Amino acid sequence: MKPTIAAFPATRLRRLRKSPAIRALVGQSVLTPGDFIWPIFVRDGEGVVEPVASMPGVNRLSVDKVVEAAREAHALGIPAICLFPYTDPAKKTEDCAEAWNPENLSNRATRAIKDAVPDLAVMTDVALDPYSSTGHDGFVVDGEIVNDETVEALVKQAMSQARAGADIIGPSDMMDGRIGAIRNELEREGFRNTLLLSYAAKYASAFYGPFRDAVGASGALKGDKTTYQMQPGNSDEAMRLVERDLCEGADMIMVKPGMPYLDICRRAKEMFGAPTFAYQVSGEYAMLAGAAERGWLDHDRVMLESLTAFKRAGCDGVLTYFAPAAAKLLNG
Ligand code: PBG
C-alpha cells in the first residue's frame, strides 16, 4: 500500500507531534519489561557480587545472588533471564566435559532459580567456549573448529540443561546441524515443551569483547571465530541461516549483535514471521554505559531509545544487560 500525502498545508506532519497526548496516540513501538531477557553472569562462591570492569553496572553473581536477581526480575515483570557461567580456568579442558556436568554452575543456577521463582523462564547457553581451553565454541582439531564432533557435545550440553529445568535453550555456537540434533534428542527424551531460541544469525563481531572478559574467555581465545560466525557484510546468508534453523526445529530466532544489525532483524521478521529476538551485546552495552558514566550521554534516555529501536525494527524482544534498569524506569 502506497501512502498518500496531501500537499502542505493540508498536511502538516508536525500536528502529529504537537503534544504528549497526541504523540502517545500515534506512538507505534511500545517497550515493556515483558520484552526483555536479562543475561546474567554466574560464578562460584557465596554472597559474591563481582563487578565486570568493562561493563559498568554489570556483575558476576554467585548462585545465591543469581536467585536474588531472579526474584528481582520476576518482580519487575521481566519474563526471562539467561545464564552465562564464568568457569574456573582449572575446569577448562580440551574435551570440555564440564559443559555437560549436571553439577556445573549453569545447571546449579538453573535448578536454584526454578526452585525459588518457578514462573520465571530460564534460558541457558549452548556453546563450548566457557569450558574450552582454546576459547572456541567448538572442538579444535589441527587448527580446525570441527563441526560434527562439536554438535555431539552440544547435544550432551543441551540435554544436561534441559534436565536441570531450563525453559529455553539457546545454542550460540553457530555449528551446522545443531538445532536439528538437539531437537531430536529433546523429543526422544520427552522434553516436548523445551524451547530452542537459536542464535541463528550471529556475526563474528568485535562487540563481544567485554563479554569474553566477563566469562573469562578472552585470555583463552586463540585466533578468531570467522569460520563459524558470519561476516558483518552479509545479509542473504542470515536469511538462509534463519530459515534453516526454523526448519530444524527452532521456536525462536536471534540476531546478534543488535544495534548494528537492525536491518537483519527487520528482514528476518518480514521474511519468516517467527518470534525474533536481538541481542544487544556486551560491547553495545559498554559503549552506552561507559559514555554515560563519563557524562557524555544521558544513560536513561539512550537506554530506552536503543531498546525501542529493536521493537521498531520488528523484534519481539531483546536480550539486554539494561533489563533491570529499563524495567524499573518503564514501571515508573
Ligand atoms: C559465545 C557467546 C558470546 C556471546 C554470547 N555467547 C561471545 C562469542 O561468541 O565470542 C556474546 C554476548 C555479548 O557480547 O554480550 N558462545
Kindly state the cell numbers that stand for 167: 525453559
Convert 236-245 to b/e letters by CB count within 10 Å (16 or more is b). eebbebbbbb
pLDDT of 99:
97
Ligand 1 within 6 A of 281 CB?
Answer: yes
Residue 214 beta carbon below 6 angstroms from any ligand 1 atom: no
**What mean pLDDT is predicted for residues 2-16?**
91
174, 259, 281: residue to mutate for ligand 1 pocket, most atoms within 8 A of CB: 281
Q: What's residue 111's pLDDT?
A: 98
The yes-or-no verdict on residue 69 having pLDDT over 80 is yes
Taking the centre of ligand 1 as the mean of its atom positions, its distance from the CA of residue 55, in whole angstroms, is: 14
CA distance 309 to 30: 10
pLDDT (mean) for 285-294 = 98
- pLDDT higher than 80, residue 220: no
Question: Could you report the per-residue pLDDT of 32-49, keeping only the tens digit for each?
Answer: 999 999 999 999 999 999
pLDDT value at residue 7:
93
243 CA from centroid of ligand 1 (Å): 22
Cα 305 to ligand 1 centre (Å): 23
pLDDT value, residue 301: 98
- Give CA–CA dist 40/21, Å, rounded: 37
Query: Nearest-CA neighbor of 242 among 233, 251, 207, 315?
Result: 251
Which DSSP state fits 226? Answer: T
pLDDT higher than threshold 90 for residue 23: yes
Share of the chain above pLDDT 70, in %: 99
**pLDDT, tens digit, for every residue of 159-210?**
999 999 999 999 999 999 999 999 999 999 999 999 999 999 999 999 999 9
Residue 245: CB within 6 Å of ligand 1?
A: no
Q: Look at residue 219 and tell me whether its pLDDT is greater than 80.
A: no
Specify the pLDDT at position 217: 75
Q: pLDDT at position 216, please? A: 80
Give yes or no for residue 244 CB within 6 A of ligand 1.
no
At residue 2, does pLDDT exceed 80?
A: no
Burial label, 320 (beta-carbon count in 10 A; 0-12, 13-18, 19+) = buried
Using a 6 Å cutoff on CB, does residue 127 contact ligand 1?
yes
Q: What is the pLDDT of residue 144?
A: 95
Fold of 32-330: TIM Barrel (3.20.20)
Ligand 1 neighbourhood includes 125 CB (under 6 angstroms): yes
Q: What average pLDDT does the segment 293-317 reach?
A: 98
- How does pLDDT run across 88-121, given as a tens digit for each residue? 889 999 899 999 999 999 999 999 999 999 999 9
Q: What is the pLDDT of residue 58?
A: 97
Write the residue with the smallest CA distance to atom 6 of ligand 1: 172
Q: What is the bridge-based pairing of β-strands 276-280 and 121-126?
A: unpaired
Torsion angle (degrees, nearest 10) of CA 60, 62, 68, 74? 60
Nearest CA to ligand 1 atom 2: 172
Does pLDDT of 3 surpass 80? no
Q: pLDDT band for position 221 (50/70/90)?
A: confident
181 contacts: CB under 8 Å, gap ≥ 6: 151, 152, 154, 155
What residues does each domain of the chain span?
A: 32-330
Which residues fall within 8 angstroms of residue 254, CB to CB, at 6 or more apart?
Answer: 170, 197, 198, 199, 200, 201, 202, 276, 277, 278, 279, 319
State which of 37, 137, 178 you would mutate to test the pocket of ligand 1, scoring each by most atoms of that ligand within 8 A of its C-beta: 137
- Which residues participate in catalysis according to the annotation? 202, 256
As a residue count, the chain comes to: 332
